Amino acid sequence: MTQIANLFKVLGEKNISIKQLSEDTHISQGNISDWKSGRSTPKADTLLTLSRYLNVSIDYLLNNEPFMNK
């Protein structure tokens, strides 16, 4: 399990593809793939972008608390 497994959980729940996430946030698909495989983790500014885009807390993305904005 990656350090940001909840990112991929939310993407699945919201039916957002990695390609769509990349296009909408201007984050490379290669970076997202590296996160999924555990080779790297997103930087703080990228976590903020992801949390805003997905409407979830950074803590949720980092698996620290089960919090999703409704």
The string of pLDDT tens digits covering residues 55-70 is 999 999 988 765 555 5
> Is 41 among the domain residues?
yes
> What tokens were used for 9?
């959980």
For residue 21, what pLDDT band results from cuts at 50, 70 and 90?
A: very high
Total number of domains constituting the chain:
1
> Is 37 among the domain residues?
yes
> Is 69 among the domain residues?
no
> Is 33 among the domain residues?
yes
> Is 68 among the domain residues?
no
> Is 66 among the domain residues?
no
Q: Read off the pTM.
A: 0.85
In this structure, what CATH number is given to the domain that contains residue 10?
A: 1.10.260.40
What does the pLDDT read at residue 10? Answer: 94
Calculate the alpha carbon distances from 58 to 44, 50 in Å. Answer: 9, 8
**Domain assignment of residue 48, given as a range:** 5-61
Q: Average of pLDDT values for 25-50? A: 96
- Specify the residue for token string 């946030």: 25
